[in-house]
Structure 1
Amino acid sequence: MESSREKLSAFLEKHLHDFLTHWRRHMYISEDDKYINHIEQNGIAVFQLVKEALEGSLQPSEIQALAEKVAKQRAEANINMGEFVYNTNFGRSLVIRYALKSGLPIEDLQLLVDDINYLFDQFLFYAITKYTELKNAEIQEKNLFISQSHKDRLTLLGQMSSSFVHEFRNPLTAIMGFVQLLKFEHPNLKYLDIIDHELQQLKFRISQFLHASRKETKEQQKGVIFLEQLLEEIIAFLYPSFVEADVEISSSIDPEASVYGFKDQLKQVFMNILLNSIEAVKEKDKPRQIYIRVSANQEHVHVVISNNGPMIPKETVQAIFEPFFTTKKLGTGIGLYVCKKIIEDHDGQITCTSSEQLTSFAISLPLKKENSLPV
């Protein structure tokens, strides 16, 4: 005698054409779906799984194999997975609707419908899991490509800057030498101080590129650096810029705060941050203020350079140390990147915070005492 499972399987097979016609009419299909001709075949394949489940001959591996095949097609077609889920669940509802028309006793149908639902749930689980896995791998591959492209750009920057900047260094050194000679021979000659200051600024910018290309480290010698002396030298050097921008600068520096490292590199960091601070406060009305605070504990020296310029947006703060990132029309985007690199090379950390009141760059460096210097 024919069982309820066999009767339902035969009934659904008999109405397969009607089922597929209804399903095609109401499903969602993108016109640019590269696998559009496979969708009906996949629907028929799922229908065959339903029949095998009803007949008791279905293997779980068959569900997974078909689900992963369809998921791969959906991923390659780059189509919204929501369409697939909708079409699958719509097919499920049609199968159940036709099952209810089979005339089988309701108590038999309840068990069979549970089996059908379980099949579709398993199918969707395997398909979505595989789709997610494939998309995550695709994203990872794209991120790897972006990361490699980013490294290639940095390599190109190093190659370009080391060759391009060295072409400027020799004539710049000669010009600076002749300016010093003119200052000695004609101490009252106008504008020499301004020319000298601008040439020093240019030398500073060249040093940024040279450090980015890692060409200068071997030319320098490490030593003990007292930050009070270093920062006073920098403030004196930048004094014309403070006056021009009408900036008030105040400082509180622990005279015992010292670090062990490359003086020129750390000078480059503090100068870059101070120059950026001057540019920032120019964008607001007076008073324009910059604060320098240096303190030391038993382990670290903490330097905080703050300004009362406009607040930096949160998304900008998060990217401010990335190479090539700049908000300036003529900026190169390497200044703060080089600062971060120098500080990290000195086993330190640099961070930026910004509010409506203050924007601060905080630097932490290992404290070096006389009895802790390398032998």
Structure 2
Amino acid sequence: MDRTLEFVRLQKNAIIENWVNAVETEYPHFYDLHKLRTEGARYFDLMMDIHIPVNQHPTFEQVPQWCEALFQKKVPLVHIAHSTHIFRQAFFEALSDAPFDSAAVIKLITVLNRRIDAFEREVSHFYWTNARSLLEEKDRELDELHEDKLSLVGKMAASMAHEIRNPLTSIKGFIKLIRTRLPEQSLQAVEKYIQIIETEFDMIHMQITGFLSFSKKPVEEKFVSLQARDLIQSVLVLVNPLLSSENIELSIDLPEELLPLHVQKKPIQQVVSNLLNNGIDALRNVRDGKRIWIASEEDEQWIHLKITNNGPKIPDDIQHKLFQPFVTGREHGTGLGLTICKQIMENHGGKISFRSTENETEFILTFMKPDHGSLPLPEK
């Protein structure tokens, strides 16, 4: 093999030049050809000094620094991999003309293949390690930005709640005062209007409760046992007028047996209300056959409430970030409703998920059954 090795060494300049020309053809004007020839000579020596184990060769020890320089210059890994393939081909073309026994040629080819493979593994490992570190760093930056957004929304929510709750408390008080001060006959004449005011009051109060999910101040409400049917009915009192005015058919398919939920009533009402209002909004551009239906599924550990509408598909470009703050597919949406829903559900040890097709969109609220404690969320 020594004679074969010497034969290849004598063709060093030709092999390097063939390699440089091939790289320039593949990636025209991308590399400095003078530097490429210098690096090619070092690579050639790394491959041909077979008396030194490849991982102990002085050139091999410099591979991390070499990779770092290329990585910083954003040289694609595919360039490096392809250039080593070209160099491998240049070696083999030189050996194809070797006037020696084929066994010696094959032996040298085997050795060169192993050394080239070792080099490629080292480069690939470096690129993978650094690319992963870079991605992790970007993920940390995105998480920090996300936390900043949530903090901003929290401050907005706390400020808004403070500014709105005070006048709301006065309104509630005056409604009670009107009921007690009006004569019975006069009260009957305006009862319908007072009920509308109270309904709207409850809707606003639920909205504030939802926004407070972002505030550092926790929602001051105890967890209670609430049946799924009662939860739905308590929200329908508020949204039925909208369903009627938009000519939307509502169907409820809940089992006759009890579906007990352990929840904070107003925050969960806010979640259901948001989903129903989103469904109503999605159906505004549907001409006929507008439908919303509510159903449930359960297993030993979980209760799943499903709120579905036959409106248009949620755009693909926002589906993966639908629960992030300020993301919305609605023209006048704030992009906070679903984010609030997600946080409320997580505060309850549950989750919210969805699926959307051309024909219907379904949101699934997953609740832990009261007698199962804290359990991992199901894959859904």
Q: TM-score, length-normalised on structure 2? A: 0.79
Cα offsets for 1:290-345 (capped at 9, x unmatched): 22335777755442222222233566555433333321122222222222222232
Structure 1 262/214 Cα, relative in aligned 2: closer, same or farther at 3 Å? farther
1:338 counterpart = 2:340: yes
Instruction: Rate the CA distance shift 1:154–1:110 in 2: closer, same or farther, 3 A.
Output: same
**Aligned partners of 2:40, 2:91: CA distance in 1, in Å?**
11
Deviation at 1:241, TM superposition (A): 1.3
Work out which of the residue numbers 105, 112, 118 in structure 2 matches 1:116: 112
**Alignment CA distance shift 1:41-1:259 (3 Å):** same
**Where does residue 73 of structure 1 map in the other structure?**
69
Contact map agreement 1:224 1:258 (CA 8 A) in 2: yes
For 2:329, the equivalent position in structure 1 comes to 327
Aligned ranges for residues 1-375 of structure 1 at < 5 Å?
3-4=2-3, 7-8=6-7, 11-12=10-11, 15-16=12-13, 18-28=14-24, 29=27, 31=29, 38-53=35-50, 56-62=51-57, 64-101=60-97, 103-104=99-100, 106-175=102-171, 177-178=173-174, 200-217=202-219, 219-253=220-254, 254=256, 256-293=258-295, 300-312=302-314, 316-368=318-370
How far 1:107 sits from its partner (Å)? 4.7
- Please report how far the alpha carbon of residue 149 of structure 1 lies from its aligned counterpart in structure 2 after TM superposition: 1.9
Task: Give the drift of 1:45.
Answer: 0.8
Q: Relative to structure 1, is the Cα distance of residues 302 and 136 closer, same or farther in structure 2, using a 3 angstrom cutoff?
A: closer
* Distance in 1 of aligned mates of 2:41 and 2:138: 35
User: Percent same amino acid among aligned pairs?
Assistant: 23
Q: Is the 8 A contact 2:342 2:352 kept in 1?
A: yes
Give the distance between the partners of 1:167 and 1:331, measured in 2 at CA.
22
Unpaired stretches in structure 1, ≥5 consecutive residues: none
- C-alpha displacement of 1:271: 1.0
Question: Residue 67 of structure 1 contacts residue 124 of structure 1 at CA under 8 Å; is this kept in 2?
Answer: no
CA contact 1:317–1:352 (8 Å) conserved in 2: no
Secondary structure of the equivalent of 2:335? Answer: coil
Aligned-residue Cα RMSD (Å) equals: 3.5
The 8 Å contact of residues 223 and 261 in structure 1, kept in 2 or not, is answered as yes
Contact 2:20-2:36 within 8 A present in 1 as well: no
Cα distance in 2 for partners of 1:144, 1:266 equals 31
Secondary structure at 2:291's aligned position in 1?
strand
Partner Cα distance (1:320, 1:38) in 2? 49
State the distance in 2 between where 1:221 and 1:345 align: 13
* Alpha-carbon offset, residue 27 of structure 1: 1.5
Amino acid at match of 1:150: H
Unaligned runs of 5+ in 2: 374-380
Letter in 2 for 1:221: K
| Counterparts of 1:50 and 1:317, CA distance in 2 | 51
Give the aligned length. Answer: 362
One-letter amino acid of the counterpart of residue 230, structure 2 = Q
